[in-house]
Amino acid sequence: MAADTWLVVGLGNPGTRYEATRHNIGYLVVDELLERMSSALTRTKARAQAATGRMPGTGGRPGDRAVLVRPSTYMNESGQPVGQLARFHSVTPDRVIAIHDDVDLDFDSVRLKKGGGEGGHNGLRSLTSHLGTRDYLRVRAGVGRPPGRMDTADYVLGRFSAQERETLPIFVSDLADAVEALIADGLVTAQQRFHAPR
């Protein structure tokens, strides 16, 4: 692969049981990006589904190449296929973008960062283990905190509320925009855009 290749990973769990749950918002964003690229996922030998295409560029120039990935493993093992695909496509960790749910952010919040801790997120912990570093990019999708004394795992594995579902398509679109901005404009410029009050 060329040096302009990115690995864009939507974290989630496979199977109909987990569809449309908060923990699977990374899958939803990859689906949105696939639709924009008019592409479709295919199975790989790395226990993941992937598609390759061009991201939007700036100034009329073609954008960078991106490999969109949905691991077919459960969340806590997602680092294994990601690490394998990163090596196969010669993508360095600083060009890996992980899209994941974040209970420390209000629902509908978009935050971008490079590196840092995993915040108890098993998918990020697995990525860090298999990439050998925490210095990859993250698109943090706020899903809010569980109500009352509800267990965090039960909350993120639950489906979005009826009220959340009303704005979920816009939220997913914003997250996809953030991925495109990260690739086209870089982290600092994308942060300035998406961290501003909306």
Q: Which residues are catalytic?
A: 23
Contacts of 178 (CB under 8 A, 6+ apart): 110, 112, 139, 190, 194
Residue 155 three-state SS: helix
Residue 55, judged by CB atoms within 10 A of its CB (0-12, 13-18, 19+), counts as: buried
For the chain, state the CA radius of gyration.
16
CA 179 distance to own-chain centroid: 8
Angle at 105 between CA 100 and CA 106, to 5 degrees: 115
140: which strand partners? 100, 111
Helix axes 25-37, 162-185, angle to 10 degrees: 60
